[in-house]
Amino acid sequence: MSLKNLLRAVLGNYLFKRALRAFGIIVAASTITFFIIRLMPSNPIEIFINQMMSAYGMSYEDAKAMALALFTIDLDKPLHEQYFEYVTNIIRGNLGTSISISPGTPVMNVVTAFLPWTLFSVSISLFSSFLLGITLGMIAAYRRGGIFDRVVSTVAAVTSAIPGYLLGILIVVFIGVRFGLINYMRGAYSAGLTPGFNLPFIVDVFLHLAAPFTTYVLSTWGGWMLSMKANTVAVLGEDYVTVARAKGLPEGRIRTQYVGRNAMLPLFTSLAISLGFIFGGSTLIENVFVYRGVGRLLWSSINARDYTVMQAVFLIITISVVVSNFLADLIYSLIDPRVRVGG
Task: By CB under 8 A, name the binding residues for another protein.
Answer: 236-240, 242-251, 253, 257-258, 261-262, 265, 335-338
Closest CB to another protein among residues 84, 240 = 240
**Residue 202: CB minimum distance to another protein, A:** 40
**Residue 183: CB minimum distance to another protein, A:** 49
**Residue 274: CB minimum distance to another protein, A:** 22
**Residue 236: CB minimum distance to another protein, A:** 8
Q: Which residues contact 17 (CB under 8 A, 6 or more apart)?
A: none
Closest CB to another protein among residues 180, 237 = 237
Closest CB to another protein among residues 63, 140 = 140
**Residue 127: CB minimum distance to another protein, A:** 22
Closest CB to another protein among residues 43, 333 = 333
Closest CB to another protein among residues 180, 248 = 248
**Residue 264: CB minimum distance to another protein, A:** 10
Closest CB to another protein among residues 62, 336 = 336
**Residue 335: CB minimum distance to another protein, A:** 7
Closest CB to another protein among residues 26, 230 = 230
